[in-house]
Structure 1
Amino acid sequence: MSFCSPRVTLILALGLASTACSSALEEPPDEIGETRDAIQDGYLDSGDRAVVGIYNAEIGAICTGSLIAPNVVLTARHCVSDMANELDGQITCRSTTFTDTHLARRIFATTDAEIGTSARYYGGSELVLLPGSGADRFCGNDQAILILDELVPESEAVPLVPRVDVPLAKGEEYYAVGFGATNDMSTGAGLRRRRDNLFIDCVSDGCPASVVKPTEWVGDTGICEGDSGGPSLDLMHRVIGVTSRGAERCEYPIYGYVYGWAEWIKEATLHAARLGGYEAPRWASGFPTDPVYSAEVGAACTQPEQCLTNACLDGYCTRPCSEVATCPSGYSCNEEPGFCAKLPEPPLEDDGADEDDAWSGSCSIHSRPDPTKPVPWLLGAAGLGAVAGLRRRRRERLG
């Protein structure tokens, strides 16, 4: 079985680059760039099992992908489709398009650290492509989703979370993972590698329009053949990009912008969950992707730094909340400052003769309450003052 990587080149019209990006784009080594289907100068990575290796048996090529749900792999469109309108074997944003899409059942994914004959593979069942009349243009649309024909158990690989709710910023740090080569000679392809301490060069409209589309961004370095479709991840381990193309010598990587195609990713994931018969990940329905919104609350604290969320409220660790990111039982989301606050304990009831006497006295203005006929609880002026005081103390104590 051959595991060769397809190599396609891309004309980068860098002479038209605007000054909005750094010198990495303004002063390229030459005018020719490439979409290289490994992480150059990276290290072997056996831990990031949700970064999967992809083998396309239809064309005998390898790529990389991100497992973002038990049966959902986010990858690059050019890993699963043919292309047309190339110029002397090179791709140009002005004319290169996607054509025929390969058979999903001929595309396989593995969570193992090496793509080879001994790896355990999951077959594809469906390919989901980007919508729209212009989605066949290569630049700006180089993303695809492979739905697997069986679920990857969480004991094998915990799915990654795509950052679909927070945009990127120039200079933000990230890391990249892929199964590609380590140089232009395709050496070392087929092993999962990772490279850290990378930084975003420019994002979307902040990049030269002749090279980068609004649904793309430019990274740092180190992307080679076989890394196509693989993820770039932020420091919270959320997928922020899909490797699309880059320049020679594994430089100037251009990524598909996960945030730019957020709704498509969420809709495809909800569809895959229905097919797989499991509960869809919460982020697909609008839950924040920041893990702080899922942190446990209630541990004792005196300082914010004692909590994973860096939030200590009235002596216990808490977390931020919203209408979507609700609080656990026993807590409510206070409007200000927007953190989970403990609900007050219900008043204790006395069991004794004094209580009976209090309610049976002939001169009492009270009557015994009927538990089958509840009445609304009203908060008087004194109670409102106490709540205001609590809110002030919470704001003072919240880190």
Structure 2
Amino acid sequence: MVGGAPEPGFPSVAAIVPVSPFCGEAEAAAPVLCTGTLVSPRVVLTAAHCVENADAPQVFSVVFAEETARASAAQRIRVAEGRPHPAWRPGVNDIGVLLLAEDAPVTPLALELGALSSDSVGRMARVVGFGSDAQGAMGRRLGGLSRITSVNADTFSIEAAPAMSCGGDSGGPVFVSQDGVEQLAGITSFGDLLCTTGTNTRVDVHAAFVQAAIEDAARRPPARAPMDPRVDACAQRCVTHADCPLGMACVAQSEDIRSCAVAGLEAGRFGDVCTGEQEGHPCVKAADTCRLWLPCAETPPAAGGCAVVDGAPGLFAWVFVLLARRRVGAERSRRV
């Protein structure tokens, strides 16, 4: 957020950050990927391009604190599932939800959606997010005013007046006053590289998608088993990420076999307890321990490690994340 100021209000607006699979990498140092708004106890509304997908398995936490670096463990809630809009493509229907593994520690935003019209052009809009400020710093909730410059069928555009969303603010809320009350009108989607103009997805147009996610989460909150390092992950067959324990993802083990793996890494199994990388094998977080992550082709340690048993079973956006096998990288730039 450039041209904004610290925002002590809006506790339902939270930062979305990656959870590193590697031991020794503190969550407090994680970069902000996107921003989201809690709209029910376990549903966070954000941009579709911020949501986990089948081709880029990731593990996220949503941080409900004014500053991510100062957040307590209770303010960091894991994401159990991500759902982009079914018709999303870059710049179109850029809306999605994150379903939390447990209830958030704050009260959800009262979701009152007012329809925008061409009469809204020239009015002020409030933007809120955890993205980059004028100095490039991220991780603090900022807010400020922008001006609406156009309203389209699915989006509306704004210009700095003087505040404007920037890198890391993707998915964050845009409020417009309706009858004297600020209501959620849009979510940040994309903008120019200098952070002087932005385009936002209209939430009122997608009210049915949002409401369906809220009702689904209320009927059956997303439940994923805890990670168990005693289980042979190479034998944990899966179809989607939701089939795997929390913190793991469904990845291709071979051309016709998919298995659960530590999210961001290739297929493998847990090995010995570790304190750091050994012989080229990363040391990963495994429940409440740290263990080596071994390729499925390798024979697991015969002793000294965990017991191995058969397991059961065109437009610029502000955020793109690539989790590599050896390091978690965050490319905080706008992508096509």
TM-score grouping bracket, smaller chain normalisation? 0.5 to 0.7
In 1, distance between residues paired with 2:56 and 2:211?
Answer: 22
Aligned equivalents of 1:178 and 1:55: distance in 2? 13
**TM-score of the two chains, using structure 1 as the length reference:** 0.47
Q: Which residue of 2 aligns with 1:357?
A: none
Runs of 4+ in structure 1 off by over 3 angstroms are 58-61
Deviation at 1:231, TM superposition (A): 0.6
Cα distance in 2 for residues equivalent to 1:261 and 1:189: 29
| Residue-by-residue CA offset, 1:47-81 (whole Å, 9 max, x unaligned) | 21111111023696421101111111011122235
1:128 aligns with 2:78: no
Q: SS state of the match for residue 241, structure 1?
A: strand
**Counterparts of 1:44 and 1:160, CA distance in 2:** 22
> Equivalent residue of 1:127, what SS?
strand
Is 1:56 paired with 2:18?
yes
The superposition leaves residues 4-31 of structure 1 with CA deviations (integer Å, 9 ceiling, x where unpaired) of: xxxxxxxxxxxxxxxxxxxxxxxxxxxx
- Which residue of the partner structure matches residue 382 of structure 1? none
8 Å CA contact 1:229–1:242 kept in 2: the answer is yes
Structure 1 position 252, deviation (Å): 0.9
Residue 14 of structure 2: SS of its match in structure 1? strand
> 2:194 aligned to 249, 267, 287, which one?
249
Q: Which residue number in structure 2 is paired with residue 272 of structure 1?
A: 217
User: How far apart are the structure 1 equivalents of 2:56 and 2:207?
Assistant: 22
- 5+ unaligned residues in a row in structure 1: which ranges? 1-38, 83-98, 205-213, 278-399
User: Secondary structure of 2:115's partner?
Assistant: coil
Over the residues paired in the alignment, what is the CA RMSD in angstroms?
A: 2.3
Give the counterpart of 1:230 among 172, 177, 185. Answer: 172
Deviations 1:311-357 (A, max 9, x none): xxxxxxxxxxxxxxxxxxxxxxxxxxxxxxxxxxxxxxxxxxxxxxx
For residues 72 and 262 of structure 1, do their structure 2 counterparts lie closer, same or farther at Cα, with a shift above 3 Å needed? same
Q: How many residues align?
A: 203
Which of the numbers 11, 18, 36 marks the counterpart of 1:65? Answer: 36
Secondary structure of 2:90's partner? coil
How far is 1:162 from its partner? 4.8
Q: What amino acid maps onto 2:157 in structure 1?
A: V
2-structure distance, mates of 1:170, 1:246? 18
What corresponds to 1:80 in structure 2? 51
Give me the whole-angstrom Cα distance separating, in 2, the residues matched to 1:61 and 1:138. Answer: 22
CA distance in 2, matches of 1:267, 1:64: 21
Map 1:80-99 onto structure 2 (within 5 A): 80-81=51-52
Q: What is the deviation of 1:223?
A: 1.4
Deviations 1:280-307 (A, max 9, x none): xxxxxxxxxxxxxxxxxxxxxxxxxxxx
> Which structure features the higher share of helix residues?
1
Return the index of the structure with the highest Cα Rg: 1
- In the alignment, which residue of structure 2 is the partner of 1:173? 124
Q: Which amino acid aligns with 2:159?
A: D
Write the distance in 2 (CA, Å) between the matches of 1:58 and 1:237. Answer: 36
Whether 1:114 and 2:67 are equivalent positions in the alignment is yes
Of 210, 218, 225, the match for 2:157:
218
Provide TM-score, normalisation by structure 2.
Answer: 0.56
2:99 aligned residue = 147
- Structure 2: gaps (5+ residues): 22-29, 223-336
Query: What is the alpha-carbon distance in structure 1 between the residues aligned to residue 46 and residue 70 of structure 2?
Result: 22
CA distance in 2, matches of 1:142, 1:58: 26
